[in-house]
Structure 1
Amino acid sequence: MKYTICELFAGVGGFRVGFEKGSSHWTTVWANQWEPSKKTQHAFECYKSHFETSGGINEFSNVDISQVPTESIPYHTVLVGGFPCQDYSVASTGAKGIQGKKGVLWWEIERILKDKRPPFVLLENVDRLLKSPSKQRGRDFGVIINCLAKLGYSIEWRVINAAEYGFQQRRRRTFIFAVHNTTNYYKELKNQSVYQQLQHSGFFSSIFNIQTFSQETINGIDIKEKFDLDTLKISNDFNFEFKNSGMYRNGVIYTIETTPNNLLTKYQITLQDVLEKHVDEKYILSDEDLEKWIYMKGSKAIERTSKEGHKYIFREGGIAFPDSINKPARTMLTSESTKNRSTHVVEDVETGRLRVLTPLECERINGFPDNWTNTGMTQSFRYFCMGNALVVNLIEHMARKLQQIVEEED
């Protein structure tokens, strides 16, 4: 079996960077990145500038994925991708989940899987995916599991906070690993009990250790018996409380709330470890803006009036100001560096003055090489790309595990 990857929704190449840092065995045979409504495709141009000479790019790499014929995609061993997640914001008004404008891109993944049937699939999304949509909790993830099951896959998932395994950002993301039931790896796994797979022998539990849990705390639902693996029935009637870890096998979904084993955090990478020593004056907060920053970061109790006319108190907790540089960074958003409460503000290590992060520091917070996005895009879009990216360090570990798995397939 070849060590080949297909990367969907590639962004600036986080999965590919992680796989190539994790092992020299991996080759990306095809990638796709398309940002709708953008005249200049900055993310793709960044990806292209780093990888054009090493393959994986053709005439279909920078077009809407729905317009890509599957015959133009090479066969591959692992399909990877951080598929767009805006419609899974269950707290937002009007979010439609898997039926929304961005959520429908799941069906493009399914279309490719139907034709190519790669032995392994590794996907990333926001942790809210497990609770989407708000009016039918768990439906969207249930649909995804059901689609994969009908294509002959067994599935594991884990919500991973990178900082809980020693890395430099408190970023929580849902990772989904699917293995086709024809593989040697699956044949070995099916001899393990559900408890063994979730506790220590599964894909995620063998990489990212968790504390021992009781077998009695595993919850399950038989979707084959209850819904006959019918996607429409799942979409209409499925409702389930997914925990942060779980698996699907032989018609049954199992889920458990797990706690990381924090042994690795004694080697914790902190914000201080990624800060530059000399930064441009443009990153320093001005004296006249300081009061605005203090207000944005502070706790609030504001009287507001609803559309219906009744008054209520809007409350908002405070955020540390400035951010502690002795801890990992908070989750970066696409609005990083703009004037808002989620933007990091730190004391400059050289001068002690308050400042925002530089684009290079944001790249380090996600584990990218320095100046990875310094490829001609605007500075604001460099921040945007990092707000959309994943923590590459996690992918490095998964790539090494997948190399071991593929080695046993021949």
Structure 2
Amino acid sequence: MTYTVASLFSGAGFLDFGFSETGFDVVWGIELVAQFASANNDNHQRRYNHNQIIIQNGDITEVNPQDIPRTTGIIGGPPCQDFSIGNANSPGVDGDRGKLVWDFLRKINFLKPKFFLFENVESLYKTRKHRTEALEPLLEQFKELGYEVYFRVLNTLDFGIPQDRSRVFIVGFKKEIIDTLKDNEIQEFKWPDPIYTIPKSVYEWPSTIDFGTEINEEEYIRNIDYPYELTVHSVIGNEEELSSLPNHISFRPYSARFHNVPEGDVKRKSFKRLHRFRFSPTVAYGNNEVHLHPTLPRRLTVREALRLQSVPDWYSFEKETPLGKMFKMVSNGVAYKLSELLAIQIKEVLDNYSNIQDTQINKANKATLTVK
């Protein structure tokens, strides 16, 4: 079955495409930044022949909910800067962007979709101010609107994505859907099963080494005692393959630090050099943050960053898009593979509910025929 979805704060579409690839149809979206919306629309057009479904330069606060199509679900991640640990002021819900969590709530209240998915930074939960002033009231109000609500912090590393990226996720279903599943002894919503448990801690990761250190990579891979798929090398280690893909481009090197920073030194605020056989820190290119290639004297390319976000190679940015905007889109997005896993679990709930409804309708029709 295919279910319709409206996307709020659509960005470049990584969250959207995780749903689109698993039986959902994104029919409407809105994004404030023109280049972000353009990238989303361009990939929707090439992949699904959808034309201009994401509104460009769209301020969601100015959109009358009556103008948003009624869909099965609503997904989105309101801008997170006001909750981010990296923001010195971190105003939370008092900030202009932080307040947008309430607009998401208002849209849910008016449209009353069967389900919704909300995403934001981990500090929405970890920072006491944000937890008490935003997260906990938000969860409570979703419940008051008649939703069964599920909350969890998920880290991409636990799901086989070689990046340490923790994010808050809230999934809600109309209470009647979950009650129906429970009455029929069918599994309610279940979070995706992690592949690994606390991989940052349970494995012994290699230490920092001098930039340019030669390693017999094939032999090294054969002998590692931790999952290779959690290493940067597993997704960006094949330069020949990457060179054949779009967006394998980056800024021109300009500093001696491109040669001096040790491989694996990711503790500094900027000019972090990834270790080829460790996972990447959170992909975040902005505010002067620079991530360096493990073995080459340059920044990561856009394609390498996309791969660390588990975005499929069919996805690409238009050539005329400014490099800075490309990196920002990658940094702001939800890891695609995690979006896909969440969409699968959500669809299972909707499918089970639909099957129960169909069975009940068939029984009622048979009973009516019998009476006649």
C-alpha separation in 2, matches of 1:104 and 1:166? 33
**Residues 347-373 of structure 1, C-alpha deviations (whole Å, 9 max, x = no match):** 34xxxx432210111111112233622
Structure 1 residues 56 and 119: CA distance shift in structure 2, 3 A: farther
Matched, 1:176 2:170: yes
Matched, 1:80 2:75: yes
- The match for 1:10 is 10
**Residues 287-338 of structure 1, C-alpha deviations (whole Å, 9 max, x = no match):** 73447757xx687xxxxxxxxxxxxxxxxx79996421112221011328x5
Matched, 1:277 2:239: yes
- The match for 1:142 is 136
- The match for 2:102 is 107
**Residues 38-77 of structure 1, C-alpha deviations (whole Å, 9 max, x = no match):** xxx1111111212247448459554211111112111111
Please identify which structure carries the higher strand content.
Answer: 1
Does the CA contact (< 8 Å) of 1:31 and 1:61 recur in 2? no
Does the CA contact (< 8 Å) of 2:4 and 2:25 recur in 1? yes
Does the CA contact (< 8 Å) of 1:163 and 1:268 recur in 2? no
1:405 alignment partner AA: V
Following superposition of structure 1 onto structure 2, how do residues 328-339 of structure 1 map, counting pairs within 5 Å? 328-335=279-286
Identity between Structure 1 and Structure 2 (%): 22
Q: CA deviation at 1:380?
A: 1.4
Taking structure 2 as the reference length, the TM-score comes to 0.74
C-alpha separation in 2, matches of 1:333 and 1:85? 13
Match among 328, 338, 344 for residue 291 of structure 2: 344
Q: CA deviation at 1:208?
A: 3.4
1:362 alignment partner AA: A
Following superposition of structure 1 onto structure 2, how do residues 251-400 of structure 1 map, counting pairs within 5 Å? 266=227, 268-275=229-236, 276-277=238-239, 285=253, 288-290=256-258, 293=261, 322-335=273-286, 340=289, 343-348=290-295, 353-370=296-313, 372-400=316-344
C-alpha separation in 1, matches of 2:330 and 2:159? 20
State the secondary structure of the residue aligned to 2:99.
helix
State the secondary structure of the residue aligned to 1:406.
helix
C-alpha separation in 1, matches of 2:8 and 2:306? 21
1:143 alignment partner AA: P
Structure 1 residues 270 and 383: CA distance shift in structure 2, 3 A: same
State the secondary structure of the residue aligned to 1:355.
coil
Does the CA contact (< 8 Å) of 1:89 and 1:132 recur in 2? no
Does the CA contact (< 8 Å) of 1:90 and 1:128 recur in 2? yes
State the secondary structure of the residue aligned to 2:176.
coil
Structure 1 residues 72 and 139: CA distance shift in structure 2, 3 A: same
State the secondary structure of the residue aligned to 2:327.
helix
Taking structure 1 as the reference length, the TM-score comes to 0.68
State the secondary structure of the residue aligned to 2:37.
helix
C-alpha separation in 2, matches of 1:282 and 1:150? 48
**Residues 178-207 of structure 1, C-alpha deviations (whole Å, 9 max, x = no match):** 111121x34335899xxxx9xxx6634453
Matched, 1:47 2:27: no
1:170 alignment partner AA: D
Does the CA contact (< 8 Å) of 2:253 and 2:297 recur in 1? yes
1:270 alignment partner AA: T
2:80 alignment partner AA: C
C-alpha separation in 1, matches of 2:202 and 2:147? 31
Structure 1 residues 381 and 88: CA distance shift in structure 2, 3 A: same
- Mind listing any 5+ residue stretches in structure 1 that lack a counterpart? 36-40, 212-257, 300-316
Does the CA contact (< 8 Å) of 1:132 and 1:141 recur in 2? no
**Residues 160-185 of structure 1, C-alpha deviations (whole Å, 9 max, x = no match):** 111122112111111111111121x3
1:378 alignment partner AA: P
Structure 1 residues 334 and 260: CA distance shift in structure 2, 3 A: closer
C-alpha separation in 1, matches of 2:143 and 2:353? 21
C-alpha separation in 2, matches of 1:56 and 1:70? 22
- The match for 1:128 is 123
1:274 alignment partner AA: V
Structure 1 residues 392 and 120: CA distance shift in structure 2, 3 A: same
State the secondary structure of the residue aligned to 2:40.
helix
Does the CA contact (< 8 Å) of 2:250 and 2:302 recur in 1? no
C-alpha separation in 2, matches of 1:375 and 1:354? 24
- The match for 2:91 is 96
Structure 1 residues 157 and 383: CA distance shift in structure 2, 3 A: same
2:294 alignment partner AA: E
Structure 1 residues 154 and 281: CA distance shift in structure 2, 3 A: closer
State the secondary structure of the residue aligned to 2:39.
helix
State the secondary structure of the residue aligned to 1:182.
helix
- Mind listing any 5+ residue stretches in structure 2 that lack a counterpart? 204-225, 355-372
Deviating more after overlay: 86-95 vs 148-157: 86-95
Matched, 1:166 2:160: yes
State the secondary structure of the residue aligned to 1:356.
coil
Number of matched pairs: 320
